[in-house]
Structure 1
């Protein structure tokens, strides 16, 4: 009759043997699994396994094909797209880099793909036409609009700068719209003139200076200030 200790040892031996056989089978299966070979002109990835095509090559199928670089282009290093971009002063046209025609009195902007007119010129189709600045006007730095503005004291009317008619008790403003003037404190705009603000008894000018309000403790009653 087998002792309990002998039976336990035999059972443990069977477990160990089975574990070793399973490990050996797994290793054999892993060894027999084919690993796809990295193609020419590629490098192994630093993480995650696999490979990437070298600079100047693009993955096509399972190969790394050389990127065909057109004239006036450079490798962009991007993982997607064509893998190249056009040089400054050229733009993509029909899978090639075409020279950007820059008209007289113009220059390429910072992107290198567009042009804009020099100061004193405005875009007119594919050309840069000189800006006609009227008398009492000056060139602006804006690339949009008419390209000029009127001097202080003048207002743009059509293609001219006409003097602003300043009424009595008024002063010029810096606003580019409206009449170009406003009334002094103590006066209010009425049409094209400045009317004096009439203060009733027990009143003072308001903060804007074009009206009035009652002193404390008086209250407004029509055009007067009355005691509470």
Structure 2
């Protein structure tokens, strides 16, 4: 087991955000987190990344307690957060550069794999939204941490580009198989991408359900049109609707 979270609690003043969260991610596993807006999904990432300290509970990564410790995960935020004065190549090696070990050849190889070889000397302003997300993901990938935490990375993209990026992410992940913890508001996205899905309740967030996604890999977009996909989507929707209407 790569990530093991036990009875995690977090409050901000009188606001109880997370309540007794128990969550695991195995080696090479893709795990998604679904929940209502404001349920504490991003706070959970802040705790895993060491930017916040839990009031109670433990976060273990490779059996090491990492409460309040930084530098143990790779993180990709909702927005690409690329430095406009740095080229694509310079943005990609940033995380490795901070550790003093930038590997420009490896970075160029990855840019070629994701179709950005011709843009390594371009600046972020010259890229489309999907291209910026690819750069941000490769930057996280090259940080060499075992766990990638992706916080709604495709939420700002249009539907067509979003599906294209989901398929692209799966193709890269199939080759690399790093463990991924993925926050999303989209039930379809969670089912299409993940091996398991945790559904959070409204605040204070608890684990309302854990769903094992039954579909084999590799996956393609034909899955989205299957009756089995629709049935699972409806099952998960019922959990989310209960949280919205209660």
TM-score range normalised by the length of the shorter chain: under 0.3
State the TM-score, normalized to the length of structure 1: 0.19
Write 1 or 2 for the structure with the bigger share of helix. Answer: 2
Higher relative contact order (CA 8 A, sep 6+): 2
State the TM-score, normalized to the length of structure 2: 0.18
